[in-house]
Structures are given as C-alpha cells and as structure tokens.
Amino acid sequence: MGVSFNDPNPMSPMERLYDITFRDPPEPQESTPIPLVHIQADEQADIDISGDAFDFVRSIRVYHIQYRQHENQDGDCNRSDSTRLGSYGVQGDYRWTRSTVGQVPAASGLSIPNGCGSYFYRSVFVDWHDHAGNYGSEEVRY
C-alpha cells in the first residue's frame, strides 16, 4: 500500500535453500504454556475504520476471473464467465458478489479476442488506491 522493502543483498533461491538446510539448529528451550488469545470471529475490523483515513481499505477489489470461450462443432460460440468481485465494506467486512469480465479493470492481462476464437483465462486480480490515492494492481494467473 505505497511501501516497499529492498534487501541490500538478496540471496538467490539456491543460497536461501542452502542457508535454511544447513544453519545451526535452535537451542532447546524450556517448554512454557502458550497463552490462549481470543480471536475475533465476526469478520470485520476490531477497530472503527469507517473514517476517511481508511478509504484505502475499502478501495481494495479482488477479481476472481474465470472466463472461457470456444466454438463448438455446430459453429455456436460457447462462453462461460464465472467472474466474482471481492470487496471490503465500511467496517472491513469482506464479501463476494457476482461480476463479469466486462467489469475487470484494463490493468488486468485479460484480453478477450474478437470473434469466437478459443480462449481461456483464469486469474486473481487485485487493485487498490493507497493512502495517497495512487493506483496499484497485481495479478496472478493460475
């Protein structure tokens, strides 16, 4: 949300794997009971986030895109759009609603061809506006 972390000397994946595999094992510790912590289960923020300072939370949108099209043997175009939109409410409550590929922002890699060429697209696309109003997005195809 407008911040980043740059490690001055990032290790390669192989170096990280070697480090994890061969580092010194931790010293045994005396067993102490782990205290139980009450976890809120009402699916909303545990503080009041209805103010304008928290608009960046409500700006987060999650698109679960599942689109497919192909022409069958009879020449009919078969399209399937199971896109859903996830968003946050006034107090941080999260909900899914039906959506369509037509509502997916242009920043997504979704590119439905003209006509009825064979096309399959599945991804999770997230976009937001940070606390300063800057737009950002990420997409993962799977």
Write down the pLDDT at residue 6.
60
Q: Is 57 exposed, middle or buried (0-12, 13-18, 19+ CB in 10 A)?
A: middle
Residues 98 and 117: their CA atoms lie apart, in Å, by: 25
- What pLDDT is recorded for position 36? 65
In angstroms, the Cα distances linking 59 to 39, 113, 124 are 25, 29, 16
95 or 38, which is more confident: 95
Within 8 A by CB and 6+ apart from 140, the residues are 123, 124
Output the pLDDT for position 140. 97
* pLDDT mean over 36-43: 58
What DSSP line would sit under the chain, residue for residue? -------SSPPPHHHHHHHHHHSPPPPP----PPPP-----SSS-SS---SGGGHHHHT-EEEEEEEEEEE-TTSPEEEEE--EEEEE-TTS-EEEEE--GGGS-TTS---PPSTT--EEEEEEEEEEE-TT--EEEEEEE-
- Token digits of residue 86: 């996830």
More confident residue, 116 or 28: 116
Q: 5-16: per-residue pLDDT in tens?
A: 566 677 777 777
Greater model confidence, 114 or 41: 114
Structural domain spans, the chain: 45-141
Alpha-carbon 65 to chain mean position: 11
| 90-126 per-position pLDDT tens digit | 988 899 999 999 999 999 999 999 899 999 999 999 9
Q: What is the pLDDT of residue 32?
A: 64
pLDDT digits (tens, 9 = 90+) for 64-81: 999 999 999 999 999 999
State the pLDDT at residue 53. 86
